[in-house]
């Protein structure tokens, strides 16, 4: 009997199972109590109970299988320190095995036999390499986010700031500029085009309704700790999310983490960690910045196989000096940066009105081949633009300009040429209310940029 399968059944099905096992007062019990009683009756009859969960190892060496979420609960399964040492178990492993009922004086169920670790045999998992000894390289494989021609946000990212497997990307955004919606569209693009990639969305300090909306909109694993929970929950959830991703990368799998947001995670560490006696501008302790940097710095492409891509959001223009300091500390740590403009979002209309572009910086040959189809076209009207200087066009239905017509208007020929720093902005709503409008920092994406 599998505990996870019992948890997925409704109360009526559990009452029927309890009747078959002669569970008294099955109709009057709550669901959790009924599941616990069914498992006890199964063990009393000599049957076996199978369970899976995420391993969380404490300082003393033993651990617990978190069956529901990543925080401690009454449904956890105790894993002894001898089992941890024998099979080389690590935090974040998805462990499955046979469990036993708690004995007299015990509080938790105990792991009786380990049968699988991350979906493979325990002896095979014991020989896997450690994440820290794997060789990191530059991202060389493109992640195509485009799914629907009507979804221009995904296409803008492909054009302006393409993402690769192993990218360490930072989305800089003021409040209410559409960063959460942009993350949702990125997640949907990854799950649609790359079903083999493990997608994890970590929501730290967000509102409960946003967590529910993300769970219903994204076909991935959503890990959350809302703003009304203790700061220790924020830090623990983030650390466990990173450990789960590392264990999957060690097996050669591609993993993507969408973190919202780095700013709130740094604030949580600032409150959770003991003070060091030093304080930066804004009241933040320097020690509080190290764990978020360790989280963000774990993103890498692995030469031996697998990758860990982390796309995190960072808040600016909030009126808090602490948030500005956090952004300054993380500025330049990633190899990709995407900036959302609040002023452009406030100028939205019923459809894209005008668009302009600047010539992209040099990229690797693999990036150019992967995006050669759209490399020289406008995101608003799909018409070619000049590669060496900016051009303007109308996204509405208008006749194509003549080939002999100059690219620059006569009134602007004497003006200085614009910087070639890859900027593309679209005025007007794209994918719904408060659509995110992007401006790439142009600091390089693929191996050819370095």
- Give the residue extent of every domain in the chain: 3-125, 136-361
- Residue 245, judged by CB atoms within 10 A of its CB (0-12, 13-18, 19+), counts as buried
Whether pLDDT at 418 is above 80:
no
Strand partners, 312: 170, 259
Q: For the segment 151-196, what is each residue's pLDDT rounded down to a tens digit?
A: 888 888 888 888 999 999 999 988 878 888 889 999 999 999 999 9
- Could you tell me how many residues make up the chain? 450
Q: What average pLDDT does range 247-270 have in this prediction?
A: 92
CB-facing half-sphere around the CA of 295: CA atoms within 13 A? 31
The pLDDT, as a whole number, for residue 43 is 72
Q: For the segment 61-85, what is each residue's pLDDT rounded down to a tens digit?
A: 899 998 878 888 888 889 999 999 9
Q: Which of 156, 143, 220 is nearest to 188 (CA)?
A: 220
Whether residue 261 is preceded by a cis peptide bond, meaning omega within 30 degrees of 0, is yes
Q: For the segment 292-349, what is each residue's pLDDT rounded down to a tens digit?
A: 999 999 999 999 889 999 999 998 888 889 988 999 888 888 888 888 887 776 776 3
Q: How far is CA 281 from the centre of its chain?
A: 29
Reported pTM: 0.73
Fold of 3-125: OB fold (Dihydrolipoamide Acetyltransferase, E2P) (2.40.50)
Tell me how many degrees the CA angle 162-165-171 measures, rounded to the nearest 5: 50
State the Cα–Cα distance between residues 381 and 226, nearest whole angstrom. Answer: 41
**Within 10 Å of residue 47's Cβ, how many Cβ atoms?**
11
Q: Which residues of 267-292 are buried (b: 16+ CB within 10 A; e: fewer)?
A: bbbbebeeeeeeebeeebbeebbebb
Q: What average pLDDT does range 111-120 have in this prediction?
A: 89
Topology match between the domains 3-125 and 136-361: no
The CATH superfamily assigned to 136-361 is P-loop containing nucleotide triphosphate hydrolases (3.40.50.300)
């Amino acid at each position: 009997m599998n505990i996870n399968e019992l948890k997925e059944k409704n109360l009526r099905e559990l009452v029927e199972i309890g009747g078959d096992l002669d569970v008294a007062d099955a109709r009057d019990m709550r669901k959790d109590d009924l599941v616990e009683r069914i498992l006890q009756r199964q063990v009393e009859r000599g049957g076996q109970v199978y369970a899976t969960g995420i391993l969380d190892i404490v300082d003393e060496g033993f651990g617990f299988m978190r069956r529901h979420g990543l925080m401690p609960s009454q449904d956890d399964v105790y894993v002894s320190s001898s089992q941890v040492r024998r099979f080389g178990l690590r935090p974040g492993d998805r462990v499955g095995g046979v469990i036993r009922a708690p004995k007299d004086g015990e509080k938790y169920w105990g792991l009786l036999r380990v049968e699988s670790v991350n979906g493979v045999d325990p002896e095979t998992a014991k020989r896997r390499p450690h994440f820290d000894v794997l060789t990191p390289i530059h991202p060389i494989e493109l992640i195509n986010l485009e799914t629907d021609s009507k979804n221009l946000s995904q296409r803008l990212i492909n054009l302006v700031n393409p993402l690769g497997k192993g990218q360490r990307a930072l989305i800089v955004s003021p409040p209410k500029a559409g960063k959460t919606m942009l993350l949702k569209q990125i997640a949907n693009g990854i799950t649609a085009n790359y079903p083999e990639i493990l997608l994890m969305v970590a929501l730290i300090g967000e509102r409960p309704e946003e967590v529910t909306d993300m769970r219903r909109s994204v076909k991935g694993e959503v890990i959350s700790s809302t703003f009304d929970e203790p700061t220790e929950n924020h830090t623990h959830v983030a650390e466990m999310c990173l450990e789960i991703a590392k264990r999957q990368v060690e097996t050669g799998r591609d993993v993507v983490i969408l973190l919202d947001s780095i700013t709130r995670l740094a604030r949580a560490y600032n409150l959770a960690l003991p003070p060091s006696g030093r304080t930066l501008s804004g009241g933040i302790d320097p020690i509080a910045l190290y764990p978020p940097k360790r989280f963000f710095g774990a993103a890498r492409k692995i030469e031996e196989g697998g990758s860990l891509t982390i796309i995190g959001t960072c808040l600016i223009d909030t009126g808090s000096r602490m948030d500005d300091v956090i952004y300054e500390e993380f500025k330049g740590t990633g190899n990709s940066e995407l900036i959302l403009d609040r002023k452009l979002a406030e100028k939205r209309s019923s459809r894209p009105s005008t668009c302009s572009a600047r010539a992209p910086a040099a990229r690797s040959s693999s990036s150019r081949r992967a995006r050669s189809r759209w490399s020289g076209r406008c995101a608003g009207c799909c018409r070619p633009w000049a590669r060496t200087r900016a051009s303007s066009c109308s996204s509405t239905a208008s006749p194509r300009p003549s080939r002999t017509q100059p690219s620059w208007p006569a009134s602007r020929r004497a003006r200085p040429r614009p910087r070639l720093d890859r900027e593309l902005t679209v005025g007007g709503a794209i994918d719904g209310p408060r659509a995110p409008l992007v401006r790439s920092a142009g600091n390089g994406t693929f191996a050819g940029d370095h």
